[in-house]
Chains A and B, each alone.
Chain A
Amino acid sequence: MENENEFSLQFEIKGSNFGNAGRVSTEIKEILQEIGINPSIIRRAAIATYEAEMNIVMYANRGTLSLNVTPEELLIRLDDEGPGIKDIDMAMQEGFSTATDEMREMGFGAGMGLPNIKKNADKFTISSIFGKGTSLEIVFNLDQAEQK
C-alpha cells in the first residue's frame, strides 16, 4: 500500500496527439517544483519525461505515465500500447531512428530519444514486446541533503 510519504499520479497519453504533446511533462515538472525537488534533478527529469512522452505520441496508440515520488526516489513509469521495439539494443544506439519524414520535419527522430532518457536518468530499464507495446522505468535518486 502507498504510505503517507508517497505520492502517485497517473496520466493518460494519446498517440498522434501532437497538439497536446508535452503537457504531461510540464505538469510533472510543476509538481516536482512544488515538492521542492533539487532543480538539477528537475531539469533532467523534465528532459527524460518529455522524450518518453513524445515517443508515445509519435509511435504508440495510447499509453499511461505513472509518477511516484518518495523521499528516496522519483520513479516515472511509462507503459504504452503500440508497435513495440524489435531490437532494443539497436534502439538504444544514438542516431538510430524509425521516425518518418514528417516526424523529422518537426525536429524529432534524430535517434536521440531513448539514449537521451538513459543519459539523464539515474536508473533506466526498458522492456518491449514486439507488436504489443513498450514499458520504461526511469528512476532519479533524491538525496534529501540537497533539499532546498
Chain B
Amino acid sequence: MNQYFHSIRIDTEKCDGRMKCMRICPTEAIRVRKGKAMIIEEKCIDCGECINVCPHNAIIPLTDPFGELAKFRHTVAIPSPALYAQFGREILPDKILDGIKKLGFDDAFDLAFTCGEVSFAVQEYLREYNGPKPLISIACPTIVRLIQVRYPNLIDQIIPIEIPRELASREIKKKKSNQLGLKEKEIGTFYLTPCPAKMISIRQPAEKGRSHLDGAISISDIYGPLLSAMEGTEKRSYRKALENICILGIGWAMAGGICRTLRLKNSLAVSGLSEVIKVFNDIERGKLRNIDFIEAYSCPQGCVGGSLAVENLYVSYNKILKLIETLEYEKIKACPDIREVRQLYSQKYFFMEGKLEPRPLKPLDKDLGKAIKKRKEKETLYNTLPKWDCGICGSPTCLAFAEDIVTGEAKLDDCIFNVPQRLQELSQELMVLLDKSSFFHLIRSNRKKETKKES
C-alpha cells in the first residue's frame, strides 16, 4: 500500500539491522524484520531523525538531482532562508543568490521577502481569530504531519496560510510566463531545502492539494559547488547588501524568528520533536490557552538544524540571530509594505488552496468491541514481557511488541526472553516423549543395575 509518499528510503543492501533508527523514531514507525529496517508508512511523519543516526547511511533522503533542471526551459532556484546561514558572517544573501545563478539556474529568488509578507499575513490572522488557542505555525511540514497523525484535535489551530515557498513559486510562474512568453509548466521552480520533509510537502502536500514547486534540491548537495561559484562573484558593499535583507523573512530560518521579528507578546517558539510533543500535550490538556501563537519546528533550533544543512546548527543559528540584531540596530527595514499585504490578505491571496485534514492512526479494530478486546489482549501480553525495551525482537518497546503481536505483525517467539522458557518447555516435552519409549526404559534400567554393582 503506497498511500503515503515519504521523503526517506531505506537501502536494504546497506542496512545491517543495528536498530538505531528504530530506537530514535519519535512515532515508533520503524521495525526491524529479518535484520532489515522497515518503515510503517502511516506512522512516519518524515522528521528525518533516523537519517542522522544511521551508522551506515542506509537511510536516504529523497531529494531531486541537478539533472532535473534540464526538463525545463527556464529554471528558478528558491533557497530556504536557512541557506543564508550556511556561510560565514561576511557572506550575505546577495552574494549567495549571485552564486546560485552561476550553478545553472536561470534565476535565483530571495524567499525572505515572501516570508516577510507571510509574517504580516500571520499577524493579520492572529488579530482576526477568536477560536481556541494557541494557534500553531504551518512553517514546518513535519509538525503539520505530527498534528495530523498524533494530535488530530489540534488541526484547526494550524494557521491556514500558505507556506512562503508555495506562494513564491506561484508568483514566479505567473510573472515569468508573461515576461518570457513561456507556458507555466515550462518554468521549473526548485526549492533549496535544509530537510527532506520539504520534499514530501512538494510531492504530497499535507492538504491534498497540488504543489506549485517542481522539486527540491538538498542544501548539502549544492553546498560545495556553491562555495566555489561564489568565489568569482563581484564584490559589493557590505552595507548595500545588508539593506536588501528583509528582517522579517530571514527569521524564518530559525526557531523564534517569526515571534521575534513580529514582536509578538504571547507567543512561544519550540524546537526539537520531543520538546514539541511536550508542548502539544500541554495544549491538549487545556493548558497554554493564554498563548496566542506557537512557532514549532521538528529540528533543533528550527530550519538551520535541518538534516540536510551543512554548517553546525548553533553556528548557523547564531549567524541569523546576529543578522537580525544588526538589522534591528541599524534600523534597516527592507520589508514588504504592510498596507499592500493587508490588501492582498483581504483578497484571500495568502490562504491555502486546500484544507488540512487529520490523518489519525488506524485503531486496533474498526469495531469498537473488538478494538477493546484487542487492547486488553495487548495489556495481558505486555504484562508477560520483561519490559526492558531491549528491541531485539525488532519492535522499539515491549508495549509496541505486544501490539505487533496482537495485530499479527510479530510472534511471541521473537522475544529473546522467551527462549529459556521455550527451551524448558521443549525439554519437558522431550522427557514425556522419551518416557513413552520402551527403548529409553531399557537404557535407564540398565544404568541403574550398573550403579548398584559399583556401590
A residues whose Cβ falls under 8 Å from a Cβ of B: 4-7, 9, 22, 25-26, 29, 31, 33-37, 39-40, 42-43, 46-47, 50-51, 69-71, 107, 116, 142, 144, 147-148
Contact = CB atoms under 8 A, between A and B. Distances in A.
B366 interface: yes
Given A46-B284, A142-B368, A5 B373 contact: yes
Most chain B CB neighbours (cut-off 10 Å) among A9, A25, A34 = A34
Nearest to A5: B369
Interface in B109-136: none
B285 A36 contact: no
Contacts of A40: 153
A50 B287 CA distance: 10
Contacts of B364: 34-36
A33 B149 CA distance: 11
B336 interface: no
A71 B372 contact: yes
A46 B284 CA distance: 7
A83 to B, nearest CB: 24
Contacts of A35: 363-364, 368, 371-372, 375
Contacts of A144: 368
Interface of B: 152-153, 281-282, 284-287, 358, 360-369, 371-373, 375-376, 378-379, 403
A37 B349 CA distance: 38
A43 B363 contact: no
A50 B286 contact: yes
A66 to B, nearest CB: 14
Given A34-B361, A35-B375, A40-B153, 14 more contacts: A4-B376, A7-B372, A7-B373, A34-B363, A34-B364, A35-B372, A39-B152, A47-B284, A47-B285, A51-B286, A71-B368, A71-B372, A147-B366, A147-B368
Nearest to B370: A5
Contacts of A148: 360, 363
16 contacts: A6-B376, A7-B373, A33-B360, A35-B363, A36-B362, A36-B365, A40-B153, A43-B284, A46-B284, A46-B285, A71-B368, A71-B369, A116-B286, A144-B368, A147-B368, A148-B360
Contact of B371 (A25, A36, A42, A107): A36
Contacts of A42: 153
A69 B363 contact: no
A13 to B, nearest CB: 15
A71 B366 CA distance: 12
A71 B374 CA distance: 13
A36 B287 CA distance: 24
Q: Which 5 pairs across A and B sit closest by C-beta, in order of nearness?
A: A36-B363, A50-B285, A5-B369, A7-B376, A71-B369
